[in-house]
Structure 1
Amino acid sequence: MINVLLVDDHPIVRSGYARLLEGGHDIHIVAEAADADAGYVAFIQCAPTVTVTDLSLPGSSGIELIRRIRARESAARILVFSVHDEPVVVDKAIQSGASGFISKRSAPDVLLEAVRAVAKGERYFSDDVRRVVELRTPDAEREVINSLSPREFEVFRLLAQGLSVAECAQTLNLSQKTVANYQALIKEKLNVTTSAALVHLALRLGIVPGDRSDRLIG
């Protein structure tokens, strides 16, 4: 039996995925979580075979959840199931330790196939994600983003969403001084000097949706 931890912040969506997965008869949902912190606790408590997570979560993102899980258990098998399949996002999820990545636009049977593949230790990408990854062209901005560590990327994402240094520190359980240092380093690596420029870059690369960052772009 494949034991699955399902992490998604929408209860109705989560319930639908749970029914779909358990309909495969060889998959059992051992726990569900609505955010990264709860997902991490559930991972520790339940030791699932596969963790299936969205990337857009309240507070810390799925990228941060992947990083924390893999830091605790290097052999953890994690499948990203997200509507955000921009190349830079897929790259960062894989760098953080994801075993596979499928788009929420995929057919239902793709999720079942992906969970079974990842449970066996295989890597799995849905066809649309694979095409995005294989057909992308080298891009200087994306290469710079890829140079950010998972923690730097998470701070970048939160800042681009409009969170203050204090709010980022609270979300990531870090000191404000540490986050401020990350902010300075990130701006230096990305060659931006203002918060607005940082947000524009995140929007251009599809790292954050526009409606969450409008207040910083006047």
Structure 2
Amino acid sequence: MNAKIKTILVDDHAVVRAGFKMLLAAGDTIEVIGEASRGEQAIQLYQELQPDIVIMDLSMPGIGGLETIRRIVLRDSEALILVFSVHHEQVYVNRALSAGAKGYITKNSAPEILAEAIMSILQGDTYVERGLLKVSADNLAQTDQQAAIAAFSPREFDVFSLLAQGLTVHKIADQLCLGHKTVANYATQIKKKLQINTTAELAHIAVNLGVTGR
């Protein structure tokens, strides 16, 4: 992969942005192409720069982080947004994901978590820092999962089946003649409907329900 992952940093504290920028630059795979201190500016930058992913705080002056997420996703349903926040309470996580964020980590997480979260989201997963969500796929009854799968659209079921078989987002995109961001968005929606966070959990459900035929 030659091209660097393009990101915008959104936080009202310049020192915080500088710290995260240094963390990202250390990996040599992610490039910060824009910075914003408030939501209104972030929306404008997103439209102008079209980054691969936005890394955003929730607590900001102006319209705030949650409304910023909603407005960006309203303009681009395939937008990838990772929240990094001081808030660790589940209500904030749930609200951010409901608004359209694809991931949530706290500002006191280990440095490697940031890069891990970014790569996971780019691969179509929803990433929530361990311990922030208390609901897992094992808490769901199989009947609920079957109902969710039965309600999938034909294209959602295609993507679900291919993910369960271990295909990457890019390979699925090639096979279904779709953009990789479109497939990533389908993958995120599928996981949200199944109330899971990872492709491994998705594959586990598919095997248990006999969807993959394995």
Q: TM-score with structure 2 length normalisation?
A: 0.60
5+ residue gaps, structure 1, are 137-218
The secondary structure found in structure 1 opposite 2:131 is: helix
Segment of structure 1 superposing worse, 112-121 or 52-61: 112-121
The corresponding residue for 2:60 is 57
Cα deviation, 1:142-183, whole Å, max 9, x if unaligned, reads: xxxxxxxxxxxxxxxxxxxxxxxxxxxxxxxxxxxxxxxxxx
- The alignment of Structure 1 onto Structure 2 pairs a total of residues equal to 133
1:134 counterpart letter in structure 2? K
The equivalent position to 1:125 in structure 2, one of 122, 128, 138, is 128
CA contact (8 A) 1:55 1:80 kept: yes
1:10 match:
13
Question: In percent, how many aligned pairs have the same letter?
Answer: 41
Cα distance in 1 between the residues matched to 2:90 and 2:82:
16
Write out per-residue CA displacement over residues 122-159 of structure 1, whole angstroms, 9 at most, x where no aligned residue. Answer: 11111132xxx2169xxxxxxxxxxxxxxxxxxxxxxx
**C-alpha separation in 1, matches of 2:6 and 2:115:** 13
Structure 1 counterpart of 2:46, one-letter code: F
Indicate the residue corresponding to 1:45 in structure 2.
48
Q: Distance in 1 between matches of 2:109 and 2:131?
A: 8
Contact 1:80/1:102 (CA < 8 Å) preserved in 2?
Answer: yes
Q: Tell me the amino acid that sits aligned with residue 134 of structure 2.
A: E
Equivalent residue of 1:9, what SS?
Answer: coil
Any unmatched runs of 5+ in structure 2?
A: 137-214
1:77 paired residue among 76, 80, 83: 80
Query: Within 2, Cα distance between the matches of 1:50 and 1:135?
Result: 26
- Structure 2 partner of 1:94: 97
Q: Deviations over 1:83-130 (max 9, x none)?
A: 11211111111111010000111001101111111122211111132x
Cα distance in 2 between the residues matched to 1:93 and 1:5: 17
3-state SS, counterpart of residue 117 of structure 1: helix
Give the alignment's TM-score, normalised by structure 1: 0.59
1:134 maps onto 2:152 in alignment? no
